[in-house]
Structure 1
Amino acid sequence: MKIIKLTMNAFMAYKNLTVVDFENMQDHGLYLISGPTGSGKTTLFDAMTFALYGEASGSHRQTSYFRSDFADAKEETYVELTFELHQHRYTVKRSPTYYREGYKTPKMAQAYFDDGQQIIEGIKEVNAKIKELLGVDVRQFKQIVMIAQGEFTKLIYASSEERERVLRHVFHSEPLVIFENLLKDKVKHYKDEFMMSNQDLSSRFSMLQLSSDFIQQHQEFHPSYIQDAQIENQKINEQLDLDKHNYHKAKNEYDKFSQQYYQKQEHNQQLLELEEVMKQYHQLQAQKEKMLLLEKDFEKIEHIKNHQSCIHQYKQSQTSYQQACFQKQEVEHKLSSLQQQFSLLKKEYQKLDEDKHQKDQLFIDIDNTKKALEQYQLYQKQRTIYQQQYKQYQALQNDYHDLQVRYEKMENRIGRDQDNVNRLPRLELELEQNEKNVKEINQKRVMIHELSQFYDEWKSLQDHHYDLSVIYQQKQAEYEKILQCYRHEDELFRRQQAGILASHLKDNEPCPVCGSTHHPHLAELEKQVLSSRELEQLSQQVEAKNIEQQEAYQEVYQQNERVTTMQTRIEMLKKQLNIQEELSKEVFIHLLSDIVQVIEEQEKTYQKKYNDVIYLKKIQRSLEQDTLLLKQQNQYLQDMQQQLMDKEKSISLLQQQYLQLEKDYHFDQHQDISSVLTQQQKDFKQLEKHIETIENQYHQCQENLSIYTHQFTQITQQLQLLKEEKDKAQLLYQQFIQDCFEDEKQYLYYQEHIKDIESQKQAYQNYFIQLEALDKQKTLLEEKTKDYQLYDLAQEKQQLDDLLLKRDQAYTKYHETLYVFQQNDKILKQLEKDYLNNQDIFEKYTLYQDLYDQTVGKNPLRMSFERYVLSTYFEQILEYANIELMKMTQGRFALYRKKDVKGVKQQGLDLSVLDYETGVMRDIQSLSGGESFKAALSLALGLSSMIQNYAGGIELNTLFIDEGFGTLDHESIDQALSVLMDLKNDHKTIGIISHVDELKERIETQIIVEKTNQGSTLHIERG
């Protein structure tokens, strides 16, 4: 990826529209961004990162600060970036969310992406497309492309834990942490589950309802207790059979007695029921006369129901006639009002001919005004085209002038470069001789270092030889002492054996040793003598001490050989180096000091000439490209000159055309033409609307007058018919009153109380139904109870209750025992299942616990699983970094990962540096400021290369470095620039932000940022 152009508007320090063209900087490959502190240098990097990802380059900058404090409320804040990838150009534009003065709601964030074929809008959509194109997210992009201010040396001085967090974000090892946490959760889960399972087993075991003796002896759960509980529960099952037998016996006794008792109770109830029925029957007989009087009222109500149609017709005819009279009055009033309105509208309608004539004249005037306006618009269009073409012509002239200036600068620079390249052969010869001298001196320094190591080793060998000699003497003394002890004990043992033999000899009996029958001096038994086994053990100890003495002697002998060999090697090196004095630490320090001084002088001379040669070779390689580019620019200047001539002709023609129109027509009152046209159109619409309104009102009133005249005629005819129907219905109604009632007053009384009488009719019917039902029930009960008598059941009731209580007690005891047995049996079966599950959980718990211990660093390497993986990546980063660091330090320093750090719980990511000049592995914190910058820059470059390869070899040919060169001396700046120039030759474009004056002199292409009280501005200078 290469940055082509950056456009900012109202963005952070830049109030006005600011455009940075990076395309012309790619020929130089290396450019500098300089300016005072706080002027907005880093803002360029922030703008690029924001355009691509919606974030800033440094971790401490926030998107809420992107809106420029100097911007006007109506000014839009946005960043537009054009970049090239795989020979194809893309443009991305993005706006942040920001508040504006005078507006209550914020301006919401926006983003769009243009690849030349389609436009993608939306923040999520653009982010996804950028990630797809570049192949990296914002974190990887900042680590590969941007080394931002404040983050330059983060990996150098970070602790092991901080470095772990940085590498975790770089290589996305979060899943490994998640894996560790998952294992931790699994351990906790199975541990909790195992403890819960143990609690469940104990709790469930305590739920067993067994004898108190058993519970006292088995208080805590144990797997063997399950079988004991099953035996105890079987005893409860035997008791259950006995309880079941007692229950059935009590039940049979109760069933037999209760059958006789309830039969007598039923006879008593039926006799009492007959007595109650007789009482109700006599009460109904006393109400019979009153019920018969209600029959007359029911007949009057029936007449009213049968003549309902007549009554309804009479009432309906009265109501219809009254409504028709009211409707006739309303229509008559409306008709009078319409006649008055029509008279007025008729006069207005007769005046419309004059309005229509005025409308036609307005239409003609509007058409003439439009034609006049079209002529003016044609004139304005020609004039606008001329002005646009003239602006393009001026812009082309400016571009031509700028290109001509750049062409002259490039021509001058090529001449200077050619003069410098002519010095290259002489410098190469001087560099070759200087390199030979440096190699010889370095070889001598290596031999002195080697002699120093041999001397130290010889001293150490001598000291060790002395120590071994002391050990040998100790081993020899120990051997002599134990050998003497063994000889003494062996002598005592032999004498003891002779004493045992002598104790069995008798006079005149032959000795088994010498055959003598006379024994004047018998051997005596010793009091304290070792046994044969103890003597054998002592013999083995003697042999072991002898072996130790011989081994100690061999070590002394071999060590003496090593001392002699090392002394011979030292003498040979002294002879080669022509050293006459006796060797000592002071001699080595003096020799190394002299030779280091010579080496430094030679290396400074060599490095300066080497840098000059490298620089001139790079200039030589780029000289041909610059010459070709100069020819291309010359051709481009000629093409632009031809374009200027063509454009000048085109502008002249356009000017003649619009001046001719200006001469033919007069448009001094063009504003009046537009106003007149607008007023004419307005008057035309108002007149048209007035005519339409009068015509509609006239015709509508005429139509309404006809409708209401017709309605009045119909209502008059309908009123006559309704009067005839009303008179006829009244005659029928009067005849009904005369036939069925004494007068209308009696009719109205029954009509008013019809509901009350109807309710009494239901009571009348219910009375006769109830009387009949009681008569039937009385007859049936008399027949059924003719042989029954009343019993006194008080004593039998007490006996029945006793039998019921006995049965219920037996039932309760049986079922309680059954419940206890079944519950115990169920619990015991569940206990067996739960115990098997408990063992399964315990196996999983121990398995996950072992895995978790390994992944969190409880292992011989003292490294977590994640740190083990990251240490591998870290080794690869250091390999890339050391390539650059060796170049910048002439092979003096190399970065290494510490593999064993004592006293640290977690290790694997600690960093140290090897100083090849002293051969000492140093702590990274011991580097000076300049050395730290070199190490940080090399580590950053190594990290960039590593991530780029890790991300699939993505094409990101742009690198930005923000600050860090202030700590370097002149030589270190040369070395750092040499590394950056190599990157430039790898088709990378490198931008540097720095205040260092020497960089301003060494880097030709510069972006100069200037700070004002109304924001920052910038311009580009090229050498």
Structure 2
Amino acid sequence: MRIIKLTMNAFMTYKDFTVVDFENMLDHGLYLISGPTGSGKTTLFDAITFALYGEASGSHRHVSYFRSDFADAKDETYVELTFELHQHIYTIKRSPTYYREGYKTPKNANAYLDDGEHMIEGVKEVNAKIKELLGVDVHQFKQIVMIAQGEFTKLIYASSEERERVLRHVFHSESLVVFENLLKEQVKTYKDQFLLSSQALSSRFSMLQLDSAFMDMHQQEFHPSYIQEATLENEKLHDQLQHYQTSYQNAKTSYDQFANLYYQKQQQNLQLSELQQITQQYQTLQNQEKMMASLKHDLDQVTAIKDHQSLLDQYQQIKLSYQQAMNQKQKVHKQLETSQKQFEQLEREYQQLEKEKQQKDQLLLDIDNTKQSLEKYQQYHQLLQQYQNQYKQYQSMQNDYQNLQSRYEKLDNRIQRDQENVNRLPRLELELEQNEKNVKDINKKRVMIHELSQFYDEWKSLEDHHYDLSVNYQKKHQKYEDILVKYRHEDELFRRQQAGILASHLKENEPCPVCGSTHHPHLAQLETSVLSSHELENLSQQVEVLNQQQQEAYQDVFQQNEFVQQMKTRIEMLKEQLDIQEELSKEVFIRLLSDIVQVIDEQEKTYQKKYNDVIYLKKIQKNLKQDHLLLQQQNQYLQDMQNQIIDKEKQLSLLHQQYTQLQEEYHFSNEQDISVLLKHQQIQFQQLDQHIHDIENQYHQCQKDISVYTHQLETFSSQIDDLESKQEAYTQRYQAFIDQYFESEEQFLDYQKRQQSIFNQEKDYQNYIIQKEALGKQKQLLEKKTKDYHMTDLSLEKQQLDALAQKRDETYTQYHETLHVYKQNQETLDQLDKDYHKNQDIFEKYTLYQDLYDYTSGKNPLRMSFERYVLSAYFEQILEFANIELLKMTQGRFALYRKKDVKGVKQQGLDLSVLDYETGMMRDIQSLSGGESFKAALSLALGLSSMIQNYAGGIELNTLFIDEGFGTLDHESIDQALSVLMDLKNDHKTIGIISHVDELKERIDTQIIVEKGQQGSSLHIERG
């Protein structure tokens, strides 16, 4: 990804529309962003991150702060970013959610992404597309592209646990933690299940109902053998069960035979007793016959009343209606008399209304006149108020004109003074250029001295190594010479041994097979200790190997000598260039560098003073153009204000003339008096109008009431005549009913009162008839059935039957209890067997998951969890990338390593050490100085950036931003850091740095200068 252009509006410290064109800085590759604290340097990074992901670059800035505090309500807050990715141009525009003054609801966040062919709208949609295009989320982006303020050294000083959290966040290893937790949960689950299953086995075994001695012997923790032993014990119980079953069958047979005879006699006794009881009940019902006949007569009387209830209800309703009609007629008659009297009074008042209506019309005319007077007064008062306001404006304009005239004169004087200072600028720039050239030459010389010092160290190291190689060669050469002598000696012995063997077979006067001589005066002798041919061959091979080793060692010495001579030649060349005549040493380098640094400091102070003067004069020169424009504007403002004052004087004169004319015409006294009069007239008008309206309504309503009451009186008279004729007819029918069913009306009324109580006795009468008939039939049936029966005493036979029943029940209980115990034991044993096998399955899973969890949670020889083991591999790759940069920045002195020592029981694997090549010792990372820590942190950040890009599939992110951190570095360290960053620039990366360090301002040509103003920040780009 290559950033082309950034646009901001009303964003954080940038109130105005601001554009940063990165396209013109791509050729430079490295640029600096400088400005005072709080001016808005880091805001540029925030804007880029917000445009892409909707978040800030650092971890301490929230989206709610993105709206500029200086923005007006009409200003829109947004960021627009144009970038190139895979040779394709994209433009993204994003605005946050923010509140505006005068609006109750916030303006919602939105985002747009345009690729030249399609437009994507919506925050979620754009976020998903950006993630797809860049291949990293916001956290990875900030770690790859933006090393933000406050987060620069987070990883270098982090503890092993903190570093684990950071790397987990980068490489998304949360799933490994989830996997570890799942294993832990499975271990807990299977452990709980196993313990519960084991407890259940013991509990279920204790449920067996076996011999107490057997159960006492098996009270300890459950063992699988208990199941077989308990099964044998339960079989003994089964043998006993067979005996109990036979005893029960014999007792049951004896009881059944005796019980049949007993219950036959008992049934006869019961039927004879029942006959006697029914005969007594039947006689009791016979004695109630007269009383039931009287009850039957009463029931007939009240039944007659019930059958004629409709006639009786109509008779009573007619009587009630007649009485109600009479009462209504009397009430209406009284209301009619009252309304007639009221109408006479209202008629007199109604005739007086004409005068009151004339008064009302007159009041209406008076009100209109008063309103016109009030309007004229208000017009007069408004003109007077306008005159006073305009006069105040006129006075204010006079004051503004005088103030502007004073500022115009001051600005003119300042322009003349600044122009005199600016005339000195060309001479200062020439001096500054010469001073800068001197600084660069001295810096170049300092770099050459550093290079010479490095070559000298390397030459010393090469000579030491040459010496070591020479010593090694001498050792190997000596070793070779020793074994060669030994080989030659052993070879001579071997040859002599061969001659001795031949000599042992020679005989005098017989020819020698070698020389042919027949005389052998000096025969070769056999040696006592000689190597075999195989051993001699092995020794020969050792000679060849050592010869090869000494030759290789010689080549190493020869090659190393070439390196030493080459380095010595380079050193002599640099000495000649630097005009160094004395012999080189560490003390010489220290003195030379000290002298150079002192000169550089003096030159830099001189340069800085002149540079500040030039910058100040350039600002003045730049401001002079604006001041001239401002002077012209103020001159124009003065002329415009003078014209406005003349116009205002004309307006005042016209207003004074208008309100004076109205005062002379109407002679106004007080607006309050006119208002009080108008209010009094309006109240009087309303009261009179209401009185007329009330009299008219009452008069017409009273007419209507008299008409209604007269009509109601006629209606009630007609109803009464009709009801009188109906009442007479129903009275005759009522009397006929009394005469037919009762001796008198008093008897009827008595039965009517007791009607309900008599009806309540009807059920008793019906029960009596039914019960008498049923008892008669039962009596006849039992008399016939018990004709040949007689009562028998069964007391002795009952005792015998109870004894047989007791014996039967005892044997039954004994048999079934034993059977129940046997079956329960058998079911328990079967379930125990199943539970035991299930228990063993759970135990196998428990041990399997426990072993897995122990290894993944760090209980292993490496003291590393599964996640930390994976992260350590990533971490070592990060360190490989980081060490490439760190070795450059520290001239090969430092390298970062992951601690691999296992100490204690605490989890390890992500602790960091630094190897100091000068001492050859491992050091704790906390022992580094501030400058060394910055180099290590920068190297680690660059390594992390490279690693994440490789991890994310080689994504194309060719931009790097660094926010602060250079203030702890000396001149040499800054050179080394910039050298590393320049190498990155040569790899087609664009690098931006935020810093207050003055040396960076001198070393980096392209700069974005951020300035802080009262109404927000502004910026401009300077190129060297």
Q: TM-score range by the shorter chain?
A: 0.5 to 0.7
1:445-499 deviations in whole A, cap 9, x for unaligned?
2242244456679999999999xxxxxxxxxxxxxxxxxxxxxxxxxxxxxxxxx
Contact persistence 1:30–1:991 (CA under 8 A): yes
d(CA) in 1 for partners of 2:216 and 2:426? 107
Change (3 A) 1:287 1:803: same
Identify the residue that residue 470 of structure 1 maps to in structure 2.
none
Identify the residue that residue 758 of structure 2 maps to in structure 1.
757
Contact persistence 1:5–1:20 (CA under 8 A): yes
Identify the residue that residue 186 of structure 1 maps to in structure 2.
186
d(CA) in 1 for partners of 2:855 and 2:842? 20
d(CA) in 1 for partners of 2:719 and 2:290? 57
| Letter of the structure 1 residue corresponding to residue 586 of structure 2 | S
Identify the residue that residue 113 of structure 1 maps to in structure 2.
109
Alignment of 1:199 with 2:211, yes or no, is no
Identify the residue that residue 864 of structure 1 maps to in structure 2.
865
d(CA) in 1 for partners of 2:75 and 2:897? 42
Alignment of 1:448 with 2:460, yes or no, is yes
1:155 aligns to what SS in structure 2?
Answer: coil
Identify the residue that residue 166 of structure 2 maps to in structure 1.
166
Identify the residue that residue 317 of structure 1 maps to in structure 2.
318
Identify the residue that residue 507 of structure 2 maps to in structure 1.
none
| Letter of the structure 2 residue corresponding to residue 93 of structure 1 | T
1:16-67 deviations in whole A, cap 9, x for unaligned?
xx644583455576233416xxx99999999999999999887678999999
d(CA) in 2 for partners of 1:972 and 1:926? 17
Alignment of 1:834 with 2:835, yes or no, is yes
Change (3 A) 1:209 1:457: farther
d(CA) in 1 for partners of 2:950 and 2:98? 29
1:87-109 deviations in whole A, cap 9, x for unaligned?
1322112469xxxxxxxxxx999
| Letter of the structure 2 residue corresponding to residue 848 of structure 1 | Y
Report the more deviating stretch, 761-770 or 876-885.
Answer: 876-885
Identify the residue that residue 37 of structure 2 maps to in structure 1.
34
Q: Give TM-score, length-normalised by structure 2.
A: 0.63
d(CA) in 1 for partners of 2:425 and 2:904? 60
Identify the residue that residue 266 of structure 2 maps to in structure 1.
265
Change (3 A) 1:337 1:130: farther
d(CA) in 2 for partners of 1:76 and 1:746? 106
Between the two proteins, the alignment pairs up a number of residues equal to 846
1:204 aligns to what SS in structure 2?
Answer: helix
Identify the residue that residue 406 of structure 2 maps to in structure 1.
none
Identify the residue that residue 156 of structure 2 maps to in structure 1.
156
d(CA) in 1 for partners of 2:693 and 2:137? 70
Identify the residue that residue 935 of structure 1 maps to in structure 2.
936
| Letter of the structure 2 residue corresponding to residue 172 of structure 1 | H
1:185-226 deviations in whole A, cap 9, x for unaligned?
212222232233333333333333334565466555443443
Identify the residue that residue 612 of structure 2 maps to in structure 1.
none
Contact persistence 1:67–1:77 (CA under 8 A): no
Q: How does 1:661-700 map to 2 (within 5 A)?
A: none
d(CA) in 2 for partners of 1:458 and 1:692? 141
1:830 aligns to what SS in structure 2?
Answer: helix
| Letter of the structure 2 residue corresponding to residue 32 of structure 1 | G
Change (3 A) 1:283 1:961: same
| Letter of the structure 2 residue corresponding to residue 23 of structure 1 | T
Identify the residue that residue 820 of structure 2 maps to in structure 1.
819
d(CA) in 1 for partners of 2:93 and 2:1001? 31
Alignment of 1:82 with 2:78, yes or no, is yes
1:395-416 deviations in whole A, cap 9, x for unaligned?
xxxxxx9xxxxxx9xxx99999
Identify the residue that residue 584 of structure 1 maps to in structure 2.
none
Q: How does 1:504-903 map to 2 (within 5 A)?
A: 576=565, 593-594=586-587, 597=590, 710-879=711-880, 881-882=882-883, 885=886, 888-889=889-890, 892-900=893-901, 902=903
Counterpart of 1:961 (choices 956, 963, 982) is 963
Identify the residue that residue 514 of structure 1 maps to in structure 2.
none
Q: How does 1:194-593 map to 2 (within 5 A)?
A: 194-212=194-212, 214-215=214-215, 221-329=222-330, 442-452=454-464, 576=565, 593=586
d(CA) in 1 for partners of 2:427 and 2:906? 64
d(CA) in 1 for partners of 2:983 and 2:18? 20
2:78 aligns to what SS in structure 1?
Answer: strand
Question: Following TM superposition, by how much is the alpha carbon of 1:238 offset from its aligned partner in structure 2, in angstroms?
Answer: 3.3
d(CA) in 2 for partners of 1:973 and 1:910? 28
d(CA) in 1 for partners of 2:940 and 2:352? 99
Contact persistence 2:963–2:994 (CA under 8 A): yes
Identify the residue that residue 18 of structure 2 maps to in structure 1.
23
d(CA) in 1 for partners of 2:144 and 2:782? 113
Contact persistence 1:957–1:987 (CA under 8 A): yes
Identify the residue that residue 176 of structure 1 maps to in structure 2.
176
Alignment of 1:1006 with 2:1013, yes or no, is no
Identify the residue that residue 397 of structure 1 maps to in structure 2.
none
Question: Following TM superposition, by how much is the alpha carbon of 1:336 offset from its aligned partner in structure 2, in angstroms?
Answer: 7.1
d(CA) in 2 for partners of 1:814 and 1:851? 56
Change (3 A) 1:277 1:981: same
2:109 aligns to what SS in structure 1?
Answer: strand
Change (3 A) 1:877 1:710: farther
Change (3 A) 1:110 1:45: farther
| Letter of the structure 1 residue corresponding to residue 196 of structure 2 | M
1:858 aligns to what SS in structure 2?
Answer: coil
Report the more deviating stretch, 761-770 or 347-356.
Answer: 347-356
Compute the RMSD of aligned alpha carbons: 7.1
Contact persistence 1:156–1:936 (CA under 8 A): yes
Question: Following TM superposition, by how much is the alpha carbon of 1:260 offset from its aligned partner in structure 2, in angstroms?
Answer: 1.5
Change (3 A) 1:54 1:697: farther
Question: Following TM superposition, by how much is the alpha carbon of 1:817 offset from its aligned partner in structure 2, in angstroms?
Answer: 2.3
2:196 aligns to what SS in structure 1?
Answer: helix
1:759-778 deviations in whole A, cap 9, x for unaligned?
34443343333333322222
Question: Following TM superposition, by how much is the alpha carbon of 1:314 offset from its aligned partner in structure 2, in angstroms?
Answer: 1.7
Question: Following TM superposition, by how much is the alpha carbon of 1:833 offset from its aligned partner in structure 2, in angstroms?
Answer: 2.0
Contact persistence 1:25–1:31 (CA under 8 A): no
Question: Following TM superposition, by how much is the alpha carbon of 1:129 offset from its aligned partner in structure 2, in angstroms?
Answer: 6.4
Question: Following TM superposition, by how much is the alpha carbon of 1:113 offset from its aligned partner in structure 2, in angstroms?
Answer: 0.9
| Letter of the structure 2 residue corresponding to residue 210 of structure 1 | L
1:907 aligns to what SS in structure 2?
Answer: coil
d(CA) in 2 for partners of 1:134 and 1:702? 90
Identify the residue that residue 614 of structure 2 maps to in structure 1.
none
1:689-714 deviations in whole A, cap 9, x for unaligned?
99999999999998888766655543
d(CA) in 2 for partners of 1:336 and 1:945? 115
| Letter of the structure 2 residue corresponding to residue 733 of structure 1 | Y
2:97 aligns to what SS in structure 1?
Answer: strand
Counterpart of 1:93 (choices 90, 93, 97) is 97
d(CA) in 1 for partners of 2:40 and 2:552? 69
d(CA) in 2 for partners of 1:127 and 1:159? 37
d(CA) in 2 for partners of 1:690 and 1:416? 98
Identify the residue that residue 520 of structure 2 maps to in structure 1.
none
Identify the residue that residue 4 of structure 1 maps to in structure 2.
8
d(CA) in 1 for partners of 2:153 and 2:261? 109
Q: Give TM-score, length-normalised by structure 1.
A: 0.63
1:90 aligns to what SS in structure 2?
Answer: strand
1:786-837 deviations in whole A, cap 9, x for unaligned?
2111121111111111211221222222222222222222222222322322
1:154 aligns to what SS in structure 2?
Answer: coil
d(CA) in 2 for partners of 1:852 and 1:594? 60
Change (3 A) 1:752 1:149: same
Change (3 A) 1:938 1:293: same
1:83 aligns to what SS in structure 2?
Answer: strand
Question: Following TM superposition, by how much is the alpha carbon of 1:292 offset from its aligned partner in structure 2, in angstroms?
Answer: 3.1
d(CA) in 1 for partners of 2:454 and 2:1011? 43
1:896 aligns to what SS in structure 2?
Answer: strand
| Letter of the structure 1 residue corresponding to residue 282 of structure 2 | Y
| Letter of the structure 1 residue corresponding to residue 96 of structure 2 | V
1:718-752 deviations in whole A, cap 9, x for unaligned?
23212322233233334434444444333322222
d(CA) in 1 for partners of 2:59 and 2:903? 34
Contact persistence 1:52–1:127 (CA under 8 A): no
2:318 aligns to what SS in structure 1?
Answer: helix
d(CA) in 1 for partners of 2:239 and 2:901? 73
Q: Kindly, what percent of the aligned residue pairs are identical?
A: 49
